[in-house]
Amino acid sequence: MQRYHTVRAGVLLLAVLTLVSCEDGPSTGDAGFRNQYFAARDALEDGKFDRASRTYARLLTRAGPLEPRIRLEYAHSLLRAGDYPAARREARALAQGQSGSARRAALSVAATAEHELGLVAIQQGDPAAARQLLPAADAAIAEVLASEPELDPLGALAGRQASIKVRLKALG
């Protein structure tokens, strides 16, 4: 599992560095941006999710064309920090403005946040909220799995979808 995250982080880093070299965004000479990005990634990988979220939020103010990628990582850090409403909001807004893999990556984060929020709603005795959140999560996961199943190499999204279906059935 750790190797998968390390490889994924390496691929992501390569993509970001490639984009950072674009003239319209932060320049490769912008050591401050690059250092902040690495600090955010390190914090995320080290489980310091609040720190990662704060750093990504600062990066968004000057991300330029990197904004969608930074926003996705920001949403992911919010998700990992347990701030499901904020993660959902960021990821859904990003998904609306994206297409292809970028949209599906954002939908993966949004669906995970919606699933977690749906579980909280059930625990708090709010089946009406769960009936709104869980179908949204299910639809997002269905889109990801149908269009780009390689975004779920370990089956985590498919497992979430199965859990969602069981919960929805129980809710009636």
* Amino acid 23: pLDDT: 38
Cα–Cα dist 50/33, whole Å: 19
Query: Contact at 8 Å (CB) between 76 and 87?
Result: yes
pLDDT lower than 50: segments of the chain: 1-24, 27-28
DSSP 124: T
pLDDT at 1: 45
pLDDT for 30 equals 76
Residue type, 101: S
Q: pTM above 0.85? A: no
How many Å is the maximal CA-CA distance in the chain?
57
Q: What is the reported pLDDT for 26? A: 59
Contact 19, 59 (CB under 8 A): no
How many other C-beta atoms lie within 10 A of the C-beta of residue 155?
A: 12
* pLDDT score recorded for residue 7: 36
Radius of gyration of the chain measured on its C-alpha atoms: 17
Per-residue pLDDT reduced to its tens digit, 87-105: 999 999 999 999 999 999 9
